[in-house]
Amino acid sequence: MSAILDLAAQNLLSPVILCFALGLAAALARSDLSFPEAIAKGMSLYLLFAIGFKGGVSVAAHGVDLGLALAVLAGITLSLGLPFIAFSLLRTLSPGVSVLDAAAVAGHYGSISIVTFVAMSALLTGQGLEAEGYMIAVAAAMEAPAIVAALWLVSRKGGESRVGGELWREILLNGSIVLLMGAFVIGWVTGEDGMVEIAPFIVTPFKGVLCLFLLDMGLVAGRGLRSARGVITPGIAVFGVVMPLIGAALGLGAGFVLGLSTGGVAALTALAASASYIAVPAAMRVALPRANPALYLTLSLGITFPFNLTLGLPLYVALARVVTGG
């Protein structure tokens, strides 16, 4: 227990988390601190490229085995299954939430937050641990199935969704996925030689950029919380903390059964515990325009993301150490 508390304290006092806290506090205090959209977008592109490339290099170094296919399959299964749990839990904790809103929220919790994954990778590196490189592919594979599950939930309950070419383009070809997987493939093809060439760009500045990006995420989360005070009821807030723990438990179990390394189990746990706030909100605006964006964006970005970032990630690393003995 003391190990978990030590890791949590160490995590809370890291520059990455303190930057997020600064952004959150600045937004809640109505400071005019802000990042231009282009800079925020540029930082997210950098982080996606760096994390994808590193994953590809890792796969090139360690080779491809059955573990990759099984981990991707487990990720897809989690992504398809978690929305059903999220839907039922949210409707139980807050019966006033409509079917449409509950399904939209459920889609977010089946999908993943790549920034949470990046933060977990940084935490693991600080702990001397490393996840399997192919966890990048698992992360990418977990984006879309949850959206399909959410739309199925809506249709099962008699609701309408707009499923068409635009939605599939949004799901499968959104910029985040294309860049993440593209960088992964480039890293895989070029291997360690490629890494040596661009390491000064994607390794050394990585944590500094992550700090600034999380400062911006804190600002966005704080602004969302401020403007959505009437939307989040106590039951919904409880959901925002309990659901990631349920996802984490399933991700932890799946990682253990797959025989992943300690870092790999922690990464899969973080993926299953996280909720999307980039890819799925965009898909939901296309497919379920009547669902309330203030609800799902505030839940995933204003409650679950800060919870995972501050308390969840160290907890998941500690649990991964316990189950793997690492």
Partner 1 sequence: MQMHDAKRVEIIIEAIMERQISTALTQVGVTGFTILPVLGGSGRSGHWTREGGVGRASGMIAVICLVAPPRLDSLLKGIFPLLDEHIGVVSVSDTQVLRAERF
For partner 1, the binding residues (CB under 8 A) are 34-37, 40-41, 43-44, 166, 170, 216, 219-220, 223, 227-228, 277-279, 281-282, 284-286, 289-290, 293-294, 297
Residue 13 Cα distances to 25, 152, 198, 285, angstroms: 15, 42, 30, 36
Q: How far is the CB of 170 from partner 1 (least distance, A)?
A: 7
Q: How far is the CB of 290 from partner 1 (least distance, A)?
A: 5
Q: How far is the CB of 289 from partner 1 (least distance, A)?
A: 4
Q: How far is the CB of 223 from partner 1 (least distance, A)?
A: 7
Q: How far is the CB of 325 from partner 1 (least distance, A)?
A: 38
Q: How far is the CB of 49 from partner 1 (least distance, A)?
A: 14
Q: How far is the CB of 216 from partner 1 (least distance, A)?
A: 5
3-state secondary structure the chain: CHHHHHHHHHHHCCHHHHHHHHHHHHHHCCCCCCCCHHHHHHHHHHHHHHHHHHHHHHHHHHCCCHHHHHHHHHHHHHHHHHHHHHHHHHHHHCCCCCHHHHHHHHHHHHCCCHHHHHHHHHHHHHCCCCCCCCHHHHHHHCCCHHHHHHHHHHHHCCCCCCCCHHHHHHHHCCHHHHHHHHHHHHHHHHHHHHHHHHHHHHCCCHHHHHHHHHHHHHHHHHHHHHHCCCCCCHHHHHHHHHHHHHHHHHHHHHHHHHCCCHHHHHHHHHHHHCCCCCHHHHHHHHHCCCCCHHHHHHHHHHHHHHHHHHHHHHHHHHHHHHHHCC
**Toward partner 1, which CB reaches closer, 81 or 182?**
182
Q: Is residue 287 within 8 Å of residue 90, measured between CB atoms?
A: no
Q: How many residues does the chain have?
A: 326
Q: How far is the CB of 237 from partner 1 (least distance, A)?
A: 18
Q: Phi and psi at residue 91, in whole multiples of 5°? A: -70, -25
**Toward partner 1, which CB reaches closer, 13 or 38?**
38
**Toward partner 1, which CB reaches closer, 86 or 220?**
220
**Toward partner 1, which CB reaches closer, 255 or 302?**
302
Q: How far is residue 266's CA from residue 89's CA, in Å, rounded to a whole number?
A: 24
**Toward partner 1, which CB reaches closer, 120 or 215?**
215
CB count within 10 Å of CB 5 equals 11
Q: How far is the CB of 282 from partner 1 (least distance, A)?
A: 5
**Toward partner 1, which CB reaches closer, 44 or 261?**
44
